[in-house]
Amino acid sequence: MLSCGSLLDLIEAGTLSHSDQQELNDGAVSAVKRDLAGGFAWDRAPGVTYLVAASLAAWGLLSASTPKPKHTPIPLTTSSDDRGRNDPHDLDFLSPGRTPF
């Protein structure tokens, strides 16, 4: 699993740490790598569940990305400074001296 290798890489690089949670400490002590084609997974052992969860969470955080919009939407209005104060298209209805309708 990519998540297991990613977690181990981050820990070995000193990029990732945890605040001494006993469950993760126990999982790290009992963890055994099970070889897979192209990587490894944490082998089933008592307490390894938290390590698996941490691996998946770290991998999800690292691999998540925000998609870029396909196009930038056209602005609905321009600022009121670009037009005269009495422009009928001015949408600043609540300016001082103006009524909302």
- 17-27: pLDDT as tens digits: 888 889 988 88
pLDDT at 41: 92
Q: List the domain boundaries for the chain.
A: 2-62
Token output for 42: 């944490």
Token output for 64: 């998540």
Token output for 4: 């297991």
Q: What are residue 34's phi and psi, to 5 degrees?
A: -110, 120
The pTM score is 0.59
47 near 26, Cβ under 8 Å?
A: yes
Question: Which residues partner with 36 through β-bridges?
Answer: 39
Extract the residue ranges of the chain whose pLDDT is less than 70: 1, 77-101
Q: How many other CB atoms are there within 10 angstroms of residue 56's CB atom?
A: 16
Residue 54 C-alpha from the chain's centroid: 15
